[in-house]
């Protein structure tokens, strides 16, 4: 009599959701215990407000950025992003927003002023292509508005998350220190 070997049913692998894939990538990158402090225009995660202000003054003297008075006492810094004709735009002014925790820079948002009549999706695509030259292809494209099919391009490298997102009117590039963001969320 020959015995019939029965095999246990194989477990099907359930694919990870996009949210789980991103969380896993962040965990893998943070586990490397290395830091990348570089942000756009030589800004560094961890700079104090004073250091950021001094750095922006230095960039202004080097003519890499320029200051515009928003009000009598409020000056904002702007740089011209060169898209080299992509999306029908050569240079486009970009405004900075900085975010601090315990007086240390942990996030920077850059918002270009899109010229009237220019397609926001084409501008986002052109900026993504420009960033791909420095950072490679995005790690993820995250749907942010399924009705209008908007997506955010996302890179996760070491402690840094870079996103290029859009809505109906604007594009935003953001740089976030994931280690610091994690600490902030733990404090809440």
Range(s) of the domain holding residue 178: 18-48+95-187
Tell me: pLDDT of 4 over 60.
Answer: no
* Structure confidence at residue 40 (pLDDT): 93
Residue 95 predicted with pLDDT over 60: yes
> What global pTM score does this model have?
0.87
- Total domains in the chain come to 1
Domain assignment of residue 118, yes or no: yes
Answer whether residue 67 is part of any domain: no
In a domain, 99, yes or no: yes
Banded model confidence at residue 182, pLDDT cuts 50, 70, 90: confident
Binning pLDDT at 50, 70 and 90, where does residue 147 land? confident
Quick: pLDDT tens for 99-120. 999 999 999 999 999 999 999 9
**pLDDT at res. 53:** 93
Which pLDDT does position 80 carry in this prediction? 96
| 130-144: pLDDT as tens digits | 999 999 999 999 998
In a domain, 41, yes or no: yes
Would you say how long the chain is, in residues?
Answer: 188
Which pair of tokens denotes residue 184?
A: 């902030």
66-69 β-sheet, strand order: 66-69, 75-82, 91-101, 104-112, 171-177, 160-166, 150-157, 140-145
Band of residue 1 on the pLDDT scale cut at 50, 70, 90:
low
- Please give the pLDDT value at position 6: 64
Q: Give a yes or no: residue 64 inside a domain.
A: no
Structure tokens at 32: 């490397």
Interatomic CA distance for residues 52 and 43, integer angstroms: 7
In a domain, 65, yes or no: no
Residue 110 placed within a domain: yes
Using alpha carbons, list the distances in angstroms from residue 188 to 85, 135, 160, 180.
45, 32, 21, 13
Distance between CA atoms of 152 and 88, rounded to whole angstroms? 22
For residue 154, being part of any structural domain is answered with: yes
């Amino acid at each position: 009599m020959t015995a019939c070997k029965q095999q246990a049913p194989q477990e099907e692998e359930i694919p990870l959701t996009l949210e789980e894939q991103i969380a896993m990538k962040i965990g893998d990158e943070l586990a490397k215990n290395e830091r990348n402090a570089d942000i756009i225009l030589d800004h560094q995660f961890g700079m104090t407000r004073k250091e950021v202000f001094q750095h922006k003054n230095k960039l202004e003297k080097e003519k890499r950025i320029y200051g515009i008075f928003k009000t009598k006492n409020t000056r904002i810094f702007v740089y011209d992003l060169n898209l080299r004709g992509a999306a029908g735009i050569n240079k486009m002014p970009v405004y900075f927003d900085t975010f601090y925790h315990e007086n240390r820079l942990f996030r920077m948002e850059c918002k270009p002023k899109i010229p009237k009549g220019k397609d926001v999706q084409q501008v986002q695509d052109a900026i993504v292509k420009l960033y791909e030259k420095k950072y490679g292809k995005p790690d993820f494209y995250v749907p942010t508005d399924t009705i209008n099919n908007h997506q955010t391009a996302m890179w996760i490298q070491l402690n840094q998350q870079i996103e290029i997102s859009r809505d109906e009117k604007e594009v935003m590039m953001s740089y976030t220190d994931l280690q610091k963001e994690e600490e902030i969320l733990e404090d809440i």
